[in-house]
Structure 1
Amino acid sequence: MPDAALPPIVDHETWRKELAELRVREKAATRELDAIAARRRRLPMVRMPGYTLVGAEGPVRLVDVFDGRSQLVVYHHMWDPGAEWQCGGCTSFTSAFTRLEFLANYDARFVIVTPGPIEAVLAYADRVGNRMAWYSTADSTFGADVDAPAGGGFAVNVFLCDGETVYRMWHTSGRGVEQLTHTFALADVLPYGRQEAWQDSPDGWPQGPTYGRWLDSPDVARLYGPATGEGDGRT
């Protein structure tokens, strides 16, 4: 790495002063995120009609996808019919979720939904080593009705179940999903950040095209797929 890509070197007292000034802004951002979460908890909800998806065991009602829990997070994975590799961003993003059992303590579950046919969907999940529960909406309007139509982009929806009735509580897409994974949070605390051209970085910092350092689907399969020898453990 060239010398120009190094931060200034200062004494420890100066470093602590600079860090303390940054901490003020970090704490303000934390409090703002708390306020946003509080507002999210006060959102109204929309009653959903009955939907039937298809899982590994066959057709399943949306209310049963909750698996006895009251809250459900759904990631809508983009799907290109007949493609060898599906969306690299979706594949990379969902590969981060390898430990989801803790959600049971919050009376919640997190699953993936995609418009591909279930046989192809499960084969792809195995190929890239994804251990989440996957469901197909190939024969349902569910995805389109919650702003994630076939041929459209990715999205996250959150639902609440009350008895046999499902309600839609929250939706996001684009950069709104970043808060759900550690990937970008970890990259952002690195001295060089995400190293993408759109970021505000000092002169000389390494930067490249947006998405340039993201894992693509073949990378995910190579790192986390069956060849790694890891067990299934799908939840």
Structure 2
Amino acid sequence: MNAHPLPPVVDAGTWEHRLEALRAREKAATRELDAIAAERRRLPMVEMPDYTLEGKDGPVRLVDVFEGKRQLIVYNHMWFTGKEWQCPGCTGFTSQFTRLEFLDDYDARFVIVTQGAIEEALAYRQRVGNRMAWYSTANSPFGADVGAPPDGGFAVNVFLRDGDTVYRTWHTDGRGTEQLSHSFALIDLLPYGRQEEWQDSPEGWPQSPTYSRWATSKTVAALYGPPAG
């Protein structure tokens, strides 16, 4: 008897039939995501105040965070003052983005904004090996105004610049950020999936408490951070 649960074994014809049925649903979901993206492109927008954030070189206006681009994606990273290791979900999520130059062709930039003081934020960025540009909203209401208040959750916001005027065009939080990640997309392809208790899986499938398989921030630092010494 196999110690690990396995999907049923069938002949090739039966497998092809089941796969075809699943792929029909997958293709329908893809078309629905296309329709959602089309609606996102039709959303109205709201004008933003002239916020000033803190960057590695000092104060910087929100409009200048674009660095000449017209579009800006901001990941609001959770931050808890005085903690050595910040949110593992945020740390792991943002560690995936190491090659963002392709956004140049789309007149766009992707940065991190956190409530942490800029010196602490940049030190944490270095410790965990993050490659993205970081900014601080510790001395600005910007984070709170876009759904990421002090000691609050994470968020993703998108902005559009027209000259010196910045507009907010989109926002999400919670599981809405999954569409930006490749990790869950890959894990969800696996026969056992995420192996978390909340997931609908066949009886006997390996399942663990939610988040228990996620890498800790310390693990992310060990994998991607600067070498010792």
Relative to the length of structure 2, the TM-score reads 0.98
User: Quick one: distance in 2 between partners of 1:4 and 1:226?
Assistant: 38
User: Quick one: distance in 2 between partners of 1:193 and 1:69?
Assistant: 38
Residue 161 of structure 2: aligned partner? 161
Residue 136 of structure 1: aligned partner? 136
Residue 190 of structure 1: aligned partner? 190
In the alignment, structure 1 residue 61 sits paired with structure 2 residue 58: no
| Aligned CA distance change for structure 1 residues 206 and 52 (closer, same or farther; 3 Å) | same
User: Quick one: distance in 2 between partners of 1:228 and 1:174?
Assistant: 34
Question: How far has the Cα of 1:147 moved from its partner?
Answer: 1.1
Please state whether the residue corresponding to 1:28 is helix, strand or coil. helix
Residue 76 of structure 2: aligned partner? 76
Q: Deviations over 1:156-215 (max 9, x none)?
A: 000000000000000000000000010100000001000000000001111000011111
User: Quick one: distance in 1 between partners of 2:146 and 2:121?
Assistant: 20
Structure 1 runs not aligned, ≥5 long: 230-235
Residue 213 of structure 2: aligned partner? 213
User: Quick one: distance in 1 between partners of 2:68 and 2:117?
Assistant: 25
Residue 232 of structure 1: aligned partner? none
Structure 2 runs not aligned, ≥5 long: none
Post-superposition, which runs of at least 4 consecutive aligned residues in structure 1 deviate over 4 A?
A: 1-4
User: Quick one: distance in 1 between partners of 2:123 and 2:49?
Assistant: 30
| 2:30 counterpart letter in structure 1 | T
User: Quick one: distance in 2 between partners of 1:203 and 1:41?
Assistant: 42
Residue 40 of structure 1: aligned partner? 40
Residue 223 of structure 1: aligned partner? 223
Residue 11 of structure 2: aligned partner? 11
| 2:86 counterpart letter in structure 1 | Q
Question: How far has the Cα of 1:4 moved from its partner?
Answer: 5.5
Residue 93 of structure 1: aligned partner? 93
Question: How far has the Cα of 1:71 moved from its partner?
Answer: 0.4
User: Quick one: distance in 1 between partners of 2:146 and 2:124?
Assistant: 24
Question: How far has the Cα of 1:13 moved from its partner?
Answer: 1.1
- How many residue pairs align between the two structures? 229
Question: How far has the Cα of 1:3 moved from its partner?
Answer: 4.6
User: Quick one: distance in 1 between partners of 2:219 and 2:165?
Assistant: 40
User: Quick one: distance in 2 between partners of 1:61 and 1:153?
Assistant: 23
Residue 28 of structure 1: aligned partner? 28
In the alignment, structure 1 residue 112 sits paired with structure 2 residue 124: no
Question: How far has the Cα of 1:68 moved from its partner?
Answer: 0.5
| 1:217 counterpart letter in structure 2 | S
Percent same amino acid at aligned positions?
Answer: 72
User: Quick one: distance in 2 between partners of 1:75 and 1:2?
Assistant: 44
